[in-house]
Amino acid sequence: MKIILKFAFILFFVNLIAATILAGTYNLTKSKIQKQESMIQEEALKQVMPETIGNKIELVKESDTIKYWKVLKGDNPEPQGYIYIAKKYGYSSVIEIMVGIRKDGTITGVRVLSQNETPGLGAKIIEIVSTRTLFSSLREIFIKEKHPKEILSPYFTEQFTNRNVKELELSNGGIQAITGATISSRAVLDSIKSSGLEILNNRDE
Protein backbone atom coordinates (compact mmCIF):
# COMPACT_ATOMS: atom_id res chain seq x y z
CA MET A 1 0.00 0.00 0.00
CA LYS A 2 2.85 2.36 0.88
CA ILE A 3 4.52 1.63 -2.47
CA ILE A 4 1.31 2.46 -4.35
CA LEU A 5 0.94 5.74 -2.45
CA LYS A 6 4.60 6.54 -3.09
CA PHE A 7 4.24 6.06 -6.87
CA ALA A 8 0.95 7.99 -6.88
CA PHE A 9 2.66 10.92 -5.14
CA ILE A 10 5.60 10.82 -7.58
CA LEU A 11 3.20 10.74 -10.54
CA PHE A 12 1.21 13.64 -9.13
CA PHE A 13 4.39 15.64 -8.52
CA VAL A 14 5.71 15.01 -12.04
CA ASN A 15 2.35 16.02 -13.58
CA LEU A 16 2.28 19.16 -11.44
CA ILE A 17 5.74 20.19 -12.64
CA ALA A 18 4.83 19.46 -16.27
CA ALA A 19 1.59 21.48 -16.00
CA THR A 20 3.47 24.39 -14.39
CA ILE A 21 6.08 24.39 -17.18
CA LEU A 22 3.38 24.26 -19.87
CA ALA A 23 1.45 27.10 -18.26
CA GLY A 24 4.58 29.22 -17.98
CA THR A 25 5.55 28.54 -21.60
CA TYR A 26 2.06 29.47 -22.77
CA ASN A 27 2.11 32.75 -20.86
CA LEU A 28 5.53 33.62 -22.28
CA THR A 29 4.57 32.87 -25.88
CA LYS A 30 0.92 34.00 -25.82
CA SER A 31 1.61 37.60 -26.82
CA LYS A 32 4.00 36.52 -29.60
CA ILE A 33 1.46 34.06 -30.97
CA GLN A 34 -1.28 36.71 -30.93
CA LYS A 35 1.03 39.20 -32.65
CA GLN A 36 1.89 36.65 -35.34
CA GLU A 37 -1.78 35.81 -35.89
CA SER A 38 -2.59 39.52 -36.18
CA MET A 39 0.17 39.99 -38.78
CA ILE A 40 -1.10 37.03 -40.81
CA GLN A 41 -4.64 38.44 -40.72
CA GLU A 42 -3.53 41.94 -41.77
CA GLU A 43 -1.54 40.54 -44.69
CA ALA A 44 -4.48 38.37 -45.78
CA LEU A 45 -6.79 41.41 -45.73
CA LYS A 46 -4.57 43.04 -48.35
CA GLN A 47 -4.32 39.89 -50.45
CA VAL A 48 -7.99 38.95 -50.79
CA MET A 49 -9.31 42.34 -51.92
CA PRO A 50 -7.72 44.39 -54.76
CA GLU A 51 -7.46 48.14 -54.18
CA THR A 52 -9.24 48.68 -57.49
CA ILE A 53 -12.44 47.50 -55.80
CA GLY A 54 -12.00 49.34 -52.53
CA ASN A 55 -9.30 51.27 -50.72
CA LYS A 56 -10.85 51.35 -47.24
CA ILE A 57 -12.28 48.71 -44.92
CA GLU A 58 -14.75 49.13 -42.09
CA LEU A 59 -15.01 46.50 -39.38
CA VAL A 60 -18.48 45.21 -38.49
CA LYS A 61 -18.70 43.60 -35.04
CA GLU A 62 -21.42 42.07 -32.92
CA SER A 63 -20.86 41.64 -29.16
CA ASP A 64 -17.09 42.09 -29.58
CA THR A 65 -17.05 39.39 -32.26
CA ILE A 66 -15.87 40.18 -35.78
CA LYS A 67 -18.65 39.56 -38.33
CA TYR A 68 -16.97 40.90 -41.45
CA TRP A 69 -15.34 43.96 -43.01
CA LYS A 70 -17.10 46.31 -45.42
CA VAL A 71 -14.95 47.33 -48.38
CA LEU A 72 -15.44 50.98 -49.34
CA LYS A 73 -14.22 53.05 -52.27
CA GLY A 74 -13.41 56.72 -51.73
CA ASP A 75 -16.31 58.70 -50.23
CA ASN A 76 -18.97 56.27 -51.46
CA PRO A 77 -20.83 54.98 -48.36
CA GLU A 78 -22.13 51.93 -50.24
CA PRO A 79 -19.96 48.82 -49.72
CA GLN A 80 -18.26 47.60 -52.89
CA GLY A 81 -17.44 44.27 -51.32
CA TYR A 82 -16.92 42.33 -48.12
CA ILE A 83 -14.13 40.44 -46.40
CA TYR A 84 -14.93 37.69 -43.93
CA ILE A 85 -13.40 34.77 -42.06
CA ALA A 86 -14.94 31.36 -42.71
CA LYS A 87 -14.34 28.40 -40.38
CA LYS A 88 -15.24 24.74 -40.54
CA TYR A 89 -13.86 21.47 -39.21
CA GLY A 90 -12.17 19.49 -41.96
CA TYR A 91 -10.75 15.99 -41.60
CA SER A 92 -8.57 16.58 -38.55
CA SER A 93 -8.71 20.29 -37.71
CA VAL A 94 -10.63 23.54 -37.94
CA ILE A 95 -9.79 25.24 -41.22
CA GLU A 96 -9.85 29.04 -40.99
CA ILE A 97 -10.05 31.00 -44.23
CA MET A 98 -10.19 34.67 -45.15
CA VAL A 99 -12.35 35.49 -48.18
CA GLY A 100 -12.94 38.64 -50.20
CA ILE A 101 -16.08 39.07 -52.30
CA ARG A 102 -17.58 41.81 -54.45
CA LYS A 103 -21.04 43.10 -53.54
CA ASP A 104 -22.55 40.69 -56.10
CA GLY A 105 -20.87 37.69 -54.44
CA THR A 106 -17.96 37.24 -56.86
CA ILE A 107 -14.88 36.03 -55.01
CA THR A 108 -11.82 38.26 -55.27
CA GLY A 109 -9.44 36.17 -53.20
CA VAL A 110 -9.11 33.32 -50.70
CA ARG A 111 -6.33 32.76 -48.16
CA VAL A 112 -6.05 29.97 -45.59
CA LEU A 113 -5.22 31.50 -42.20
CA SER A 114 -4.78 28.28 -40.25
CA GLN A 115 -5.21 24.53 -40.66
CA ASN A 116 -3.76 21.30 -39.32
CA GLU A 117 -4.97 18.81 -41.89
CA THR A 118 -3.17 15.58 -42.83
CA PRO A 119 0.20 16.30 -44.50
CA GLY A 120 0.21 15.19 -48.13
CA LEU A 121 -3.60 15.08 -48.26
CA GLY A 122 -5.83 17.74 -46.70
CA ALA A 123 -2.84 19.99 -46.07
CA LYS A 124 -2.61 20.40 -49.85
CA ILE A 125 -5.18 23.19 -49.52
CA ILE A 126 -2.15 25.44 -48.93
CA GLU A 127 0.19 23.72 -51.39
CA ILE A 128 1.75 25.96 -54.02
CA VAL A 129 2.72 24.54 -57.39
CA SER A 130 5.41 26.50 -59.20
CA THR A 131 6.16 26.27 -62.91
CA ARG A 132 9.72 27.44 -62.36
CA THR A 133 12.49 25.01 -63.25
CA LEU A 134 16.03 24.63 -61.95
CA PHE A 135 17.30 26.11 -65.22
CA SER A 136 15.13 29.23 -64.94
CA SER A 137 16.15 29.72 -61.30
CA LEU A 138 19.86 29.47 -62.14
CA ARG A 139 19.38 31.80 -65.10
CA GLU A 140 17.87 34.48 -62.85
CA ILE A 141 20.91 34.30 -60.58
CA PHE A 142 23.32 35.20 -63.39
CA ILE A 143 21.29 37.79 -65.32
CA LYS A 144 21.52 41.40 -64.21
CA GLU A 145 17.89 42.30 -64.86
CA LYS A 146 15.76 41.96 -61.77
CA HIS A 147 12.15 40.90 -62.07
CA PRO A 148 9.47 41.67 -59.48
CA LYS A 149 8.86 38.78 -57.15
CA GLU A 150 5.91 36.73 -58.31
CA ILE A 151 3.21 36.11 -55.71
CA LEU A 152 2.13 32.49 -55.96
CA SER A 153 -1.14 31.22 -54.53
CA PRO A 154 -2.13 27.68 -53.54
CA TYR A 155 -3.69 26.03 -56.58
CA PHE A 156 -6.73 24.72 -54.69
CA THR A 157 -7.90 28.03 -53.23
CA GLU A 158 -7.00 29.87 -56.45
CA GLN A 159 -9.89 28.00 -58.11
CA PHE A 160 -12.35 30.12 -56.12
CA THR A 161 -11.21 33.46 -57.58
CA ASN A 162 -13.79 35.06 -59.92
CA ARG A 163 -16.45 32.47 -59.02
CA ASN A 164 -19.66 33.49 -57.28
CA VAL A 165 -20.27 32.18 -53.77
CA LYS A 166 -23.89 31.47 -54.73
CA GLU A 167 -22.80 28.93 -57.33
CA LEU A 168 -19.93 27.11 -55.60
CA GLU A 169 -20.01 23.33 -56.06
CA LEU A 170 -17.51 20.48 -56.00
CA SER A 171 -17.62 19.14 -59.55
CA ASN A 172 -15.57 18.73 -62.71
CA GLY A 173 -16.96 21.98 -64.06
CA GLY A 174 -16.73 23.74 -60.71
CA ILE A 175 -14.26 23.50 -57.85
CA GLN A 176 -12.15 20.36 -58.18
CA ALA A 177 -11.49 18.61 -54.88
CA ILE A 178 -7.98 17.60 -53.87
CA THR A 179 -7.42 13.92 -54.68
CA GLY A 180 -7.75 11.88 -51.49
CA ALA A 181 -8.89 14.88 -49.47
CA THR A 182 -12.55 15.39 -50.33
CA ILE A 183 -13.50 16.12 -46.71
CA SER A 184 -10.99 18.97 -46.40
CA SER A 185 -11.94 20.30 -49.84
CA ARG A 186 -15.64 20.28 -49.02
CA ALA A 187 -15.06 21.93 -45.64
CA VAL A 188 -13.31 24.84 -47.35
CA LEU A 189 -16.02 25.19 -50.00
CA ASP A 190 -18.96 24.86 -47.60
CA SER A 191 -17.57 27.41 -45.14
CA ILE A 192 -16.82 29.95 -47.88
CA LYS A 193 -20.27 29.51 -49.41
CA SER A 194 -22.37 29.49 -46.23
CA SER A 195 -20.60 32.46 -44.60
CA GLY A 196 -20.68 34.43 -47.86
CA LEU A 197 -24.38 33.83 -48.39
CA GLU A 198 -25.12 34.83 -44.81
CA ILE A 199 -23.39 38.19 -45.33
CA LEU A 200 -25.07 38.85 -48.69
CA ASN A 201 -28.51 37.96 -47.33
CA ASN A 202 -28.19 40.08 -44.17
CA ARG A 203 -25.99 42.99 -45.24
CA ASP A 204 -28.84 45.51 -45.22
CA GLU A 205 -29.97 44.67 -41.69
Task: Report the first-to-last Cα separation within the chain, whole angstroms.
Answer: 68
pLDDT in tens, 166-183: 999 998 888 999 988 999
pLDDT in tens, 185-205: 999 999 999 999 999 998 754
Q: Is residue 11 part of a domain?
A: no
**Among 152, 153, 52, residue whose Cα is nearest residue 97:** 153
pLDDT at 64 over 70: yes
Q: Is residue 3 part of a domain?
A: no
Give the per-residue pLDDT at 159.
Answer: 93
pLDDT at 131 over 80: no
Give the per-residue pLDDT at 192.
Answer: 96
pLDDT at 108 over 90: yes
Q: Is residue 71 part of a domain?
A: yes
| Per-position b or e across 109-132, b if 16+ CB within 10 A of its CB | bbbbbebebbeebbbbbbeeeeee
Q: Is residue 126 part of a domain?
A: yes
Give the per-residue pLDDT at 173.
Answer: 82
Expressed as residue numbers, the domain containing 127 is: 47-202
Q: Is residue 36 part of a domain?
A: no
pLDDT in tens, 15-38: 767 767 776 665 666 566 556 666
Max mean pLDDT among 35-39, 48-52, 83-87 falls in 83-87
Q: Is residue 6 part of a domain?
A: no
Q: Is residue 30 part of a domain?
A: no
The least confident of 28-32, 37-41, 133-137 is: 133-137
pLDDT at 52 over 70: yes
Q: Is residue 77 part of a domain?
A: yes
Give the per-residue pLDDT at 58.
Answer: 92
Q: What's the total number of domains in the chain?
A: 1
